[in-house]
A and B are shown apart, each in its own frame.
Chain A
Amino acid sequence: MQQIQVHEHCKLKRYIWELPVRWCHWVNALSLVILAATGAFIAHPFSVAHSASDFVMGWVRFIHFTFAYIFTISVVSRIIWAFTGNRYAGWREFFPMRTVKGREKLRDMFRYYLFMTHQVPETVGHNPLAATAYFAVYCIYLAMILTGFAMYALHAPGGAMYRAMGFMYAIFSIPMLHLVHHALPWLLLGFVINHIYSAWLMDIKEHGAEISSMFSGYKFTLKREHED
């Protein structure tokens, strides 16, 4: 039987990820890597200094807090964009379970991942399985931000940030804040492994320029607008 080549299909070039989505994605990814690395040092520091006038932990914490602010701004911006951006960026994307069509896509993707079919589903916006995970990831982001700022505000008790975080202190003891902030990055690491693998997998299987789409914004699909 003859082999049909990819170029025999005419794919459409479609603008999917708007600039804010791409920026937020890479700012988040970069911040997360830096926050995880500096956070790991904060959690398990090793004695590196030669004199008490060194400032190793001081700088590590400074970088952690600087990127904490950058990360927070980026996460909040992306959440706002979920209400103002195009439909691929919209909040509905993250809950494919809500619609019949979404559940269908979810089932197809699930079957593909579990080797139950060889048919690679085409996704124009978010991969429905991934989108479900993104919602969980954003919840973890918010938990990291809240526990992070709750710990951060302890240097100025009674200050505006401390008072704003009052509800956090009512829910968590301070060591528990540390534990939650310490444990959740492991879930994020699990997600990132999964996520990069899936981006790779769908890139090589779907031939829609999955990975480069997160840089350029363009995907290549058979489906036209209003067809997906």
Chain B
Amino acid sequence: MDKEQFDGADDLVGRSSEKREYSIGEILRERGVSRRDFLKFCSAMTAALALPAAFSPKLAQALDEVKRVPVVWLEFQDCAGNTEALLRAANPTVAELVLDILSVDYHETIMAAAGHQAEAALEKTFNDYRGKYICVVEGSIPMKDGGVYGCVGGRSYLDRARQICGSAAATIAVGTCAAYGGIPAAVPNPTGAVGVMEAVPGVTVINLPGCPVNADNLTATIVHYLVFGKIPDLDSHGRPLFAYGKRIHDNCERRPHFDAGQYVEKWGDEGHRKGYCLYKMGCKGPATFHNCPSQRYNEKTSWPVGAGHGCAGCSEPNFWDTMSPMYKRLPNVPGFGIEHTADQIGVGLAVGTAAAFAVHGALKALSKDKEPGEETKEG
């Protein structure tokens, strides 16, 4: 690729190369973000990262000095819901901050460039910042039949993921599809969809599952990387502990109703109107790890359980298959008809056993058996 094309790509994403050398603090000041707003943002991030409040000034200082990181945002088998979650944040200042901290060089949904120019922008970041840029992935990667089920720019998703994620400082898989395959990976998974970790083994991946990702958790992950120079501690599913270290059920605002014994029995009943626990309505909060109850969505407006609907378990691996049916607490029993839940089978079994032994007992009571050693007795 020639020099001209690189410059052109730069203009299209609205920045010149020198600008990257400014620190984040400088860029924010240049954009007219007040010091006060900046500090507010820093304390919000300190809270999101579950750091002590005393960390906030240190975070501010570090963010002031740190340089922006180039980010490329790849979309695969997705619905762009995570992009939406990021862009539709209600409070424009924070959303802007997010975009300012990220130097987004490539993002199919929001970039102005198209076609070859877009590809050139991606190629340039890839070449110039190899090992330094952050790759954000949204959507799952189809693996079946050599990955033919999705391609962009003439190359398969798998191919692009291998190249771009392979040379990134870190890959952030946003949303459950990118993390674990999500809905495209639901049985029977026609395209062989998997998450980034499985598609490109060996690369550094941070999973931020959720449907969609909580934009605050994404920002906090990036702030963590900028400030500490490393990725946050992860759990066994590759999720940052600060956001996925606790079970929803254990932090839920409706938990006192669970412990008390106050449950919604059906949609719209009195308990539902009073905000009782959704346990019996199939809430998957007891099986799901996410900070939804404290971080909430859309600038902390609400979250599913807060709004009166049970947790769907969307941030767990294979949730579409393992957490269903959505409005039942327990899965259906495999191998039996859909209507036969475990209890119906169990009652059948217990009643059958009791009946069989009742008959057996009656017959045995009538029969004149020979007790041990009683050879002479008549049968």
- B257: A residues at CB distance < 8 A: 49, 52
Q: Is the CB of A157 within 8 A of B371?
A: no
Q: Is the CB of B245 within 8 A of A157?
A: yes
- B346: A residues at CB distance < 8 A: 183, 185-186, 189
**A118-B368 contact, Cβ under 8 Å, with A52-B257, A52-B260, A157-B245:** yes
Q: Is the CB of B361 within 8 A of A201?
A: yes
Is A76 in contact with chain B by the CB < 8 A criterion?
no
Residue of B nearest to A183 (CB): B342
- B376: A residues at CB distance < 8 A: 4
In the complex, what distance in Å separates the CA atom of A197 from the CA atom of B236? 48
Is B301 in contact with chain A by the CB < 8 A criterion?
no
A92-127 vs B: 1/0 string, CB under 8 Å? Answer: 000000000000000000001101001111100000
Q: Is the CB of B260 within 8 A of A53?
A: yes
In the complex, what distance in Å separates the CA atom of A183 from the CA atom of B258? 22
Q: How far is the CB of B113 from chain A (nearest CB, A)?
A: 42
Interface residues of B in 125-155 (CB under 8 A from A): none
- B250: A residues at CB distance < 8 A: 155
Q: Is the CB of B261 within 8 A of A47?
A: yes
Q: Is the CB of B353 within 8 A of A194?
A: yes
Contact of A201 among B235, B276, B354, B364 (CB under 8 A): B364
Interface residues of B in 347-361 (CB under 8 A from A): 347, 349-350, 353-354, 357, 360-361
Contact of B260 among A55, A166, A222 (CB under 8 A): A55
Contact residue range for chain B?
Answer: 35 or more
- A29: B residues at CB distance < 8 A: none
Contact of B322 among A47, A175, A208 (CB under 8 A): A175
Q: Is the CB of B371 within 8 A of A205?
A: yes
Is B316 in contact with chain A by the CB < 8 A criterion?
yes
- B246: A residues at CB distance < 8 A: 157
Q: Is the CB of A175 within 8 A of B331?
A: yes
Q: Is the CB of A190 within 8 A of B261?
A: no
- A154: B residues at CB distance < 8 A: 247, 286-287
Q: Which residues of B are at the interface with A, using a C-beta cutoff of 8 A?
A: 235-236, 241, 245-247, 250, 256-263, 265, 271, 276, 279-280, 284, 286-287, 289, 313, 316, 318, 322-323, 329-331, 333, 342-343, 345-347, 349-350, 353-354, 357, 360-361, 363-364, 367-374, 376-379
Q: Which residues of A are at the interface with B, using a C-beta cutoff of 8 A?
A: 1, 3-4, 6, 9, 43, 45-49, 51-58, 112-113, 115, 118-122, 154-155, 157-158, 166, 169, 173-176, 178-179, 182-183, 185-187, 189-190, 193-194, 197, 200-201, 205-208, 221-222
Closest 7 A/B residue pairs (Cβ): A186-B346, A56-B261, A122-B372, A174-B287, A173-B322, A58-B259, A49-B260
Complex A-B: 20 CB contacts under 8 Å: A4-B376, A6-B371, A46-B263, A52-B256, A52-B262, A56-B259, A57-B260, A58-B259, A118-B370, A120-B371, A174-B286, A175-B284, A176-B331, A178-B330, A183-B333, A189-B349, A190-B349, A200-B361, A205-B369, A206-B372
